[in-house]
Amino acid sequence: MTPLLTRALVLRLVSVVAGAIGFYLPLAALPMLAADHGTAAAAGLANGALLVFTVAGELVTPRLLARLGCRWVLAVGLVLLGLPALVLLTPAGSYVVAIVAVNAVRGIGFALSVVAGGALTAALLPADRRGEGLALVGLVGGVPTLLALPFGTWAAAHWGYGVVLVLTAVVPLVAVATVPALPARDGGSEPSHGLVAGLRNAALVRPAAIFASTAAAAGVVVTYLPLAVGDHAAWVAPAALLAQPATSTAGRWCSGRLGDRRGQTRLLVPGVLMSLVGMAAMALTASGPVVVGGALLFGAGFGVLQNATLALMYARVPAAEYGTVSAIWNGAYDLGMGAGALAVGVLVTATGFSAAFLVVAAAMLPALGMARGESGRRSAARAQRSPQPAYVVSS
């Protein structure tokens, strides 16, 4: 079996962890800082700028990869993700416009780092174990993600924003030192197709659309579940929001191991079904155990699709186009989460949370159809490759 955990991949994992910490540590703290110097609307504006500029950065990163290579773009992304936070330690940090601007630059940096890093990671993984390798990278990046967000909020409240801002700047900058040691074969030469051509490729768009549907539901869960369950059981929201990422990480790991052995397309239908049923269960907001059980099931399905769709997309392009795949997949993730939260924000005033959650579950039915179509295409392709039986006519 081809070795998976090489020296190059270990070095890459350093920047994976650093990028996760740099992004998630101040994710809730900076909106708190903006609200302290402005209003609640300022808090939304701060993270709104982060999301908008992240998506914009993901759209242009493939062109930068063609010109500069993955290592340069990854290094610049880490710098932009961390260094601007130090601006908020100066007198300018008391202005909301400065906080919004810093988050906008950080969004660009995050986009550069995840797209370039994703392409570089794919190039470092053996093709026969790519699904497992992506699951490993997701696991390593998922642990600091789980810890950094609550720690950043706690640290800002108990130690002050300065500690959070310094850590946000220092951790990604330290990881930059590992980038030059990564292999020079960093994602391929200039891609033969750009992002626009990639978006015209149905073989890439279908898995991305399937994942985007569950990403939209995930945006709804993290944004509205605490409001939906209310105060009738204070333990429900924390338990559900812990269960969902925990089973997502487990689902991603299982998906990686199974997908390499049995094919990624076989995992799409189960992943969508688990996500859909889990989302529908969370609509029963009056029952705490059902909500938590739904979060467990939804998280597992989300993790399966997270890994299977990305591995499938990488398998369908040459190495030179890994950057395009990384940009499309990450864009589907971010746009899906943002669109889900925005749509339900409009819907919930008319329907209430339970009905809105059921609508979100129903909105995943087209993704289920696409997932079934992907499985059918794989079966048809296998049938075409199979040797035709020879028929002997006896007299």
| Best CA proximity match to 33, nearest among 140, 138, 161 | 161
d(CA 385, CA 326): 29
The residues of the chain scoring below 70 in pLDDT are 1, 40-41, 184-194, 231-232, 377-395
Give the residue carrying structure tokens 């006896």.
Answer: 394
Please, what are the domains in the chain? 1-189 (1.20.1250.20), 191-375 (1.20.1250.20)
Length of the chain: 395
d(CA 126, CA 6): 10
| Best CA proximity match to 15, nearest among 195, 173, 184, 163 | 173
What global pTM score does this model have?
A: 0.81
SS3 317: coil
The predicted structure's pLDDT at residue 379: 53
pLDDT in tens, 123-170: 898 888 888 899 899 889 888 887 887 888 889 889 999 999 999 999
Question: In this structure, what token pair is assigned to residue 67?
Answer: 């010109």
Given a contact cutoff of 8 angstroms between Cβ atoms, the answer to whether 238 and 339 are in contact is no
Concatenating the DSSP letter of every residue in 148-166 gives HHHHHHHHHHHT-HHHHHH
The predicted structure's pLDDT at residue 298: 97
Give the residue carrying structure tokens 């392009």.
Answer: 317
Given a contact cutoff of 8 angstroms between Cβ atoms, the answer to whether 167 and 30 are in contact is no
The predicted structure's pLDDT at residue 390: 37
| Best CA proximity match to 298, nearest among 205, 220, 181 | 220
286: Cβ contacts below 8 Å, ≥ 6 apart: 232
Residue type, 27: L
R_g of the chain computed on alpha carbons = 22
Give the residue carrying structure tokens 């995943």.
Answer: 364
The predicted structure's pLDDT at residue 190: 45
Q: Where are the alpha helices (DSSP H) in the chain?
A: 7-24, 29-37, 40-68, 70-82, 96-124, 130-158, 161-176, 195-199, 202-229, 236-262, 268-282, 288-315, 322-351, 353-362, 365-385
